[in-house]
Structures are given as structure tokens and as C-alpha cells.
A and B are shown apart, each in its own frame.
Chain A
């Protein structure tokens, strides 16, 4: 719903999901601020960031929501990701558990939001190739299976971050355009809907009158 196709401008909400310490915050900071080291960053908060981009002559405003990755906050996921257009599922290539966690998120998101949400699975910390515990093939295979994009990034060395977000935005844009096209087909239905609202009101008033009698 955040995507209000107003002319050629879109608002997309993107949630960052993933286990703690996989580098969600670094990823988004690298993307929005192009900074990695936390020490000399002027932004006081990295949990909510806006990024404006132009893509195919479309003005797109990305609102990127960081989420708390701790296990104890997992249950709060639905509150975060409801009505979001995209999700970035981050795992640490050196941590097998974090990849399993991503699988959990994918299942949950697909169940709750269906295909309306664009997913991208991100293997972060690709600079630590020597400590890799999640094979690239496995991750890619899985991503393909769940119709998600897959990227390998390194927030530290600024590798693949920009591309990842761009690809996600492109996908969200395509989805949004498809959706608006469908909506335009259903414009007639839309007007009917408003009519039904009015009907409801009329009905209820009459009924209440009866009730009072």
C-alpha cells in the first residue's frame, strides 16, 4: 500500500530481516550513506533510512526499515513487515544458522504476504570468503526455488550493495506497475466498492432505527 502510483513516483517500504550481527545495519548504512565504519558517522540512527532513486524515469523513495534481529523479537516480525513492498533477508556467509533463519523468514513472509512482496536473499560478509560456511550454490538454488533474488555483498568493501538494492527496487517497481495495471482493469469494481460502503451505512441506519423502536 505504500506504493502510491502517483504519476511516476513510488514509495516503497523495504524491511531488513535477518539474525543479529549479520550486518543488516552496515548494509543499509553502506547503501544510504556510503559509510562503513560506525565511528565517524553523523547519522544518529540507522534503523530507519530513506533513499531516493531514479529508475527508468520513475522517482522512487525507498524507506528502509531495520528490524531487531534478536531471536526474542522474532514474534514482532509481522508488525514490522506488514504492508511492505520488499524484504531484504540477510545472512552471514560464515554462519550456517543465519541462513537457516533466512529460510524461516522466507516461509513466514510467503505465507503472510504471498507473492506481493519482493524478496532478496543476501549473503553478507563476502570478504570473509575463507570462513565461508554457506555455499553459494546452495543459497542460489534456494533463492530460485522461493522466487527470490540472491546477492552476495560485502558492506565492508562495498561490494554488491548498490546492485542488490537496485535489483530489488527494479523488481518492486515491476510488481507495482503490474499491480496498477490490474487495478486499472478493476476500476469499475472499485467504484462499486465505494457504493457498497454507502449501502452499508444506509442499511445500518435503518436497522438501528428499528432497534430503537
Chain B
């Protein structure tokens, strides 16, 4: 800023000194004077002017003609030129001021909002703090408004800085703030600045008495002329093609543009900080590692050039004037703001040399003879379509990724299904290999069972009828048959009969689906498999088989019992259906049909196919299983993993059998007690079976 009027890059000592030659440093904002000489100069002008105004109409006419020029000369404000015309006396003007003041207080909605914010944030510190704060703000704002017409902006800024300092001292020394913690004191000071500045914004931002607006326009024009400058010219490595970088650049530009919409100096400063942080991020993306000032400043210049923020100079001057100085020059905000000042200063003094290009080329660009085709420009402006294309490409990329994921998954699923199929096939074949002998006895027995059924008392008839009605019954029926066969193989015949009776009874109760299903679930659940497996390692395959079948049978029996009870008492059915649940972790919703499939079904997702199909399936499958005997090693492994789970299923059926027996004899038994008793009895029953 010291070098604003100087085209060369180096500042000569003389340029920095006060024009008066007093030895102090001058400032472009003070017409090249130092602060003291500038004030003196102003005083002189003021006096001159007052003399002129006293001279009468003639001077007024000239003052109008020179309006633009004089407007800027701090001594007289616009109102002064107009007021004499409309108002006869100065006394009127005096009264006018308080009116204006009242208006500000009432008309400013932001002030109310801030007050509410203050109370919510600092209300806890008590009424005294609030009162004192508002008192200070009021005295500050009224002072400024009072002086508004009389003093230059720089003087007002001095007053503001004095007040900040005063309030800071007050915060640290006044008894009112004794209880307030230091951090909150800092915040209060910030809030003091914010509150008063938001209230005074309209008067202090880009005041008509200064040439701030003109500076805004000139820098805006300058930046527009330099629109051809790209990142390459500035030696900063902003990759223009990366989407991520572009987004960050946009956010940086937006933050910088947002500065104009803020009212308090510290809020404007916060915008600058946000912008600069984005710039740092951009650089990180482009080069990696920590960002030093060597890279940061060119990037910031680039952002400023591309953003071309509105009223840039006014904003910066407003911040420098009315932000609490001690704050402004410290910390991150101070550093970034300084960098922004540097960037603007650089842009103002930009020459061909500073862009490392020949003078001719620079001039050609500046005059618009040559237009620079920059990738950035096209990205920013020319090609909205290009931008969309990029976005769509990324979208497509994402979609294709998802597609491949889906494809992979389907492939995986396919493989899994294949594997499952193979596994099942292997199992089935292995089972077949193991127990080829079983086939014959079974076949012979099957008709036998039919005969038995026929020969049996009225119950079997019902069963048959029920079986024909229900799809579910069929598989069970078969199962039981199978078990019978096996039993026949391994055990004495009396058991066969026992088994048969339950299976006959089962179908009869077609209504009691839930109970059946639950039982089946228990059977279908992996636990059953495990139980089977668990048995197998101990005994021969035959024994195991018998046991497996046994379990299933018993469950069926229990179901029958429940059914019977239901028939007798409607209460029973729900209780029965309920009891199996704890044993079967799987949902009750599973189809009954799974039960026959049990050994393989647990692993097979297909097992859950519609029941009708299963029926078809089941019969051959079961037969196969029976023939082959128990499943082998794979199942064994699984069993060993969770031996605890294995126990329940055998238990349950046994319980149920007991129940069934009891139930058939004694229909009315409370469900709970029955359950417990069944649990207790289970081990015994299991052991007895083993012995058998």
C-alpha cells in the first residue's frame, strides 16, 4: 500500500516519506503526508472552507460545481452542502442529529439480533455485565455518530481504536467484569467491536467523504484487465483440470466474495481467513506437503484475480480502520489479511516484469489485442457443458463401479450356488455309497407299513385321509416309515409300532399347523444335523441314523400329542407351538416341508422353496438318505463346533414323547410345568434310547 503510486517494484526511500519532508513516513491514503502533517493540512483546508462559506452565495455555487472533489475532502460532509439550502438555521441541524441517532437504534434490525445473541451467550455473567456492555456500546456509537459529520474517517478510526482499547482496559480492570474469565473477556471485546460496528456499518463503510469507492472501481477495472493472467503466469501450481481442486478454488472464491456481505470487521476478516485456508488446501492438493509463503502468495493473487471481489478496497480499508488493531496484527487472521493486502498491492503494481514476460506481450494482453486462451478460463466460463461433462463422467464412473460390484456379487452368488450344489451332490453320493444295503429292507417295509396302517385301529384311517389332504403330512409319514425301517434294522420291532402310531396321529390334526411347523423347525435347524452328527462319531452310522430318525419321529409324536390335546383342549396348541421355539433359533415361519430335507436343508437356501416342490423332492431324497445312512465328515465337523446346541433337539422330542404319552392319557396338564418336566426327562429318555 505504500507503493500504490509507484510502477516500479522497488520502493525508494523518498516515496515512503511524508511530503512535507518532516522525516516521518507518509501514506498514500493521507495524500502522501504523515498522519501529523495530514491532520494539519486538513485543518488548514477546513479553515479555508469555513471562510469561503462565510463569503456567501458565490462560494456555495462554486462548492456545488466542485462537489465531487470536495466531497472527498473530509472537512465537510455532503449534508453540509445541502442542509443550508433546505434548512435555514444551524439549530435545526443540531436537532436533526439526535433524530438520526434514534432512527439508527430503531431501524437497525441487526442490532436487536445481536442483543439477543449477546444475552444468550453472555447472559450468564449477570445483569451488571450486560448493562455495562450496552452502556459502553451506546457511548461508543453515539460518539461516532456525533463526530460523523465533523471528522475524517481516519480520525473516526482513531476514536474507534481508542474505544476498543478503553473497553479492553475496562474488561480487565473494572469490578463489573471481575467474575468473567479471560477467554470470555476476549470474546466480549470481540462482541463489543461487532455490536458497535454492525450498528454503525452504514456510516462507516465506504463513507462518501472518502474516495474508497473510486479505489474500488479502479481495482475492479484493473483486475478485469488482468483477467488473462493465469496460474502459470504467476508461477503457482494450481492444476486446473482436477475436479477437487476446482471445487476448492470455487469455495475460496466464494469466501472472498462473501466478505462484502458481512458487516462487522471481524466477520469480514473471518471470510478472508476461510478463503486463505481454502487456498492452502488447494496448494496441498496440487503439491502436497506444507505450504510456504512462496507458494501461498501467488495462489492468493490468482484467487483474487479470478474472484474480483466487489468493493474490495472499501472492505479492506474498513477492516484496517475499524478492526481492533491489536487483534488485526496478530494471529492467523492478521497474517492472512496482510497477505491479502500484499496480493492487492501486487495486482495494483503488476508489470510485465513481475509476470516474467516481455513488455510487448504484456501490453498486447492488456490492450486486448491478444486474448489468452487459458484452460482455467474455459473451465470457469466458456464451458458449462464441459463442466457438466466432467460431472457426468464422474457419475458414470461411479455407476460403472457399482455395476461391476453387482456383477461380481452375482458371480459370487452363482459360484456359491454351484458349490452348494456340488456339496450336496457329494454328500448325497457319499451317503449313497455308505449305505447301499438299506434300500431293500426299506422297500419291503414300505408296503408293510401300509399294511400296518390299514390293520391298525380307526386312527390310521384318519391319518391317511389327513395325509392325502395335507401336503405336509406326506413327508412326515415317509420319515416315520423310514425310521421304522431303520429301527427295524437296528432295534426290535415293538419300537416300530410305537413309531408308527405317532406318525399316524400326526396327520389327523391338520389344523395345528403352527405346532407342526415349530417342531419341524427344530428338526430343520442345524442343531438337528449336529445332533445327528454328534451321534455319528460315537456310534456306527446305523446307530446314528436310527437316532436321527428317532428324534424326528419323536418330534412328530410330540406334535401329535399337541394336536391331540388341541383336539381335546383348544388351549394346548399354542403352548405346544411355543415351547419348541427356544430350541429352534430359526424363525417359526419356515415351512414344514424342510423337515424331511433336514440334513442337507440347513445348508441349502433352496430348501425354502415352495412346499409343493419339496414334497416332490422330499420323498426320493429321504429315501436316499435312508439308504445311504448318516452324512459324513463335513457334518461331523459342524457338529463338533457347537456341541451344546446338539443337545436340545434330542431332548425336545423325548420330552414330547413323554408328554404325548401323558397327554394322551391325561389331557389337562399346565403347559409350563409340562415343559420343565419334559426338559428334565429328556436326558433320561435320550440315554434310554441310546441303550436301546
Binding site for B on A (CB under 8 A): 1-2, 4, 11, 13, 16, 20, 24-25, 29, 38-39, 41, 43-48, 50, 63, 65-76, 78-80, 83, 111-112, 194, 197, 200-201, 204-205, 207-213
20 residue pairs of the A-B complex, CB under 8 angstroms, read A1-B326, A11-B330, A29-B290, A39-B288, A47-B291, A66-B293, A68-B293, A68-B298, A69-B294, A72-B346, A72-B354, A74-B9, A74-B10, A75-B345, A75-B349, A78-B11, A194-B162, A204-B151, A210-B50, A212-B80
Nearest A-chain residue to B287, judged by Cβ: A38
State the Cβ distance, A78 to closest chain B Cβ, in Å.
Answer: 5
Are B291 and A45 in contact, CB atoms less than 8 angstroms apart?
yes
Nearest first, the 10 A-B pairs at minimum CB distance are: A38-B289, A25-B292, A46-B290, A66-B293, A211-B50, A68-B297, A48-B335, A76-B342, A47-B293, A72-B354
- In the complex, A211→B83 CA distance in Å? 12
Partner of A73, one of B16, B76, B80, B346: B346
Are B346 and A44 in contact, CB atoms less than 8 angstroms apart?
no
B109 in contact (CB, < 8 A): no
- Residue numbers in A under 8 Å from B147 (CB-CB): 201, 204
- In the complex, A48→B158 CA distance in Å? 28
B2 in contact (CB, < 8 A): yes
B150 in contact (CB, < 8 A): yes
Are A208 and B149 in contact, CB atoms less than 8 angstroms apart?
yes
B259 in contact (CB, < 8 A): no
Partner of B294, one of A38, A50, A68: A68
Partner of A75, one of B3, B49, B280, B292: B3
Binding site for A on B (CB under 8 A): 1-3, 9-11, 13, 16, 25, 46-47, 49-50, 53-54, 75-76, 80, 83-84, 90, 93, 147, 149-151, 155, 158-159, 162, 235, 277, 280-281, 284, 288-294, 296-298, 325-326, 329-332, 334-336, 338-339, 341-342, 345-346, 349, 353-354, 356
- Residue numbers in A under 8 Å from B75 (CB-CB): 211
- Residue numbers in B under 8 Å from A50 (CB-CB): 331
Nearest A-chain residue to B292, judged by Cβ: A25
Q: Which of B9, B84, B149, B235 has the most CB of A within 10 A?
A: B9
Nearest A-chain residue to B151, judged by Cβ: A204
Partner of A207, one of B13, B46, B293, B330: B46
Nearest A-chain residue to B147, judged by Cβ: A201
- In the complex, A200→B159 CA distance in Å? 11
State the Cβ distance, A121 to closest chain B Cβ, in Å.
Answer: 19
- Residue numbers in A under 8 Å from B11 (CB-CB): 75, 78
Are B294 and A1 in contact, CB atoms less than 8 angstroms apart?
no
- In the complex, A3→B325 CA distance in Å? 13
- In the complex, A45→B3 CA distance in Å? 28
- In the complex, A47→B155 CA distance in Å? 34
Once A44-B281, A68-B297 are accepted as A-B contacts, the answer to whether A211 and B289 lie under 8 Å apart by CB is: no
- Residue numbers in B under 8 Å from A204 (CB-CB): 147, 150-151
Are A1 and B296 in contact, CB atoms less than 8 angstroms apart?
no
Are B90 and A72 in contact, CB atoms less than 8 angstroms apart?
no
Are A43 and B290 in contact, CB atoms less than 8 angstroms apart?
yes
Known: A2-B326, A72-B356, A79-B1. 13 other contacts (CB 8 A): A4-B326, A41-B290, A44-B281, A68-B296, A75-B9, A75-B10, A79-B2, A83-B329, A112-B25, A201-B147, A204-B151, A211-B49, A212-B83
- In the complex, A213→B83 CA distance in Å? 11
- Residue numbers in B under 8 Å from A111 (CB-CB): 13
Nearest B-chain residue to A43, judged by Cβ: B290
Q: Which of B162, B277, B288, B329 has the most CB of A within 10 A?
A: B329
- Residue numbers in A under 8 Å from B342 (CB-CB): 68, 73, 76, 79-80
Q: Which of A74, A194, A208, A213 has the most CB of B within 10 A?
A: A208
Once A76-B342, A83-B329 are accepted as A-B contacts, the answer to whether A208 and B2 lie under 8 Å apart by CB is: no
- In the complex, A112→B159 CA distance in Å? 26
- Residue numbers in B under 8 Å from A197 (CB-CB): 158-159, 162
Are B290 and A13 in contact, CB atoms less than 8 angstroms apart?
no
Nearest A-chain residue to B235, judged by Cβ: A70
Are A46 and B291 in contact, CB atoms less than 8 angstroms apart?
yes
State the Cβ distance, B79 to closest chain A Cβ, in Å.
Answer: 9
- Residue numbers in B under 8 Å from A83 (CB-CB): 329
- Residue numbers in A under 8 Å from B9 (CB-CB): 71-72, 74-75
Are A209 and B292 in contact, CB atoms less than 8 angstroms apart?
no
Are A44 and B291 in contact, CB atoms less than 8 angstroms apart?
yes
Nearest B-chain residue to A67, judged by Cβ: B293
State the Cβ distance, A198 to closest chain B Cβ, in Å.
Answer: 10
Q: Which of B90, B235, B335, B354 has the most CB of A within 10 A?
A: B335
- Residue numbers in A under 8 Å from B356 (CB-CB): 72
- In the complex, A136→B356 CA distance in Å? 34
State the Cβ distance, A60 to closest chain B Cβ, in Å.
Answer: 13
Once A68-B293, A79-B338 are accepted as A-B contacts, the answer to whether A44 and B83 lie under 8 Å apart by CB is: no
Are B326 and A63 in contact, CB atoms less than 8 angstroms apart?
no
State the Cβ distance, B336 to closest chain A Cβ, in Å.
Answer: 8
- Residue numbers in A under 8 Å from B353 (CB-CB): 72
- Residue numbers in A under 8 Å from B326 (CB-CB): 1-2, 4
- Residue numbers in A under 8 Å from B354 (CB-CB): 72
- Residue numbers in B under 8 Å from A43 (CB-CB): 290
- Residue numbers in A under 8 Å from B1 (CB-CB): 79
- Residue numbers in A under 8 Å from B336 (CB-CB): 48
- In the complex, A2→B291 CA distance in Å? 25
Are B2 and A80 in contact, CB atoms less than 8 angstroms apart?
no
- Residue numbers in A under 8 Å from B151 (CB-CB): 201, 204
Partner of A70, one of B294, B329, B332, B339: B294
- In the complex, A69→B298 CA distance in Å? 11
- Residue numbers in B under 8 Å from A48 (CB-CB): 332, 335-336
State the Cβ distance, A18 to closest chain B Cβ, in Å.
Answer: 10
Are A39 and B294 in contact, CB atoms less than 8 angstroms apart?
no
Are B335 and A63 in contact, CB atoms less than 8 angstroms apart?
yes
- In the complex, A170→B346 CA distance in Å? 35
- In the complex, A2→B331 CA distance in Å? 10
- In the complex, A20→B356 CA distance in Å? 16
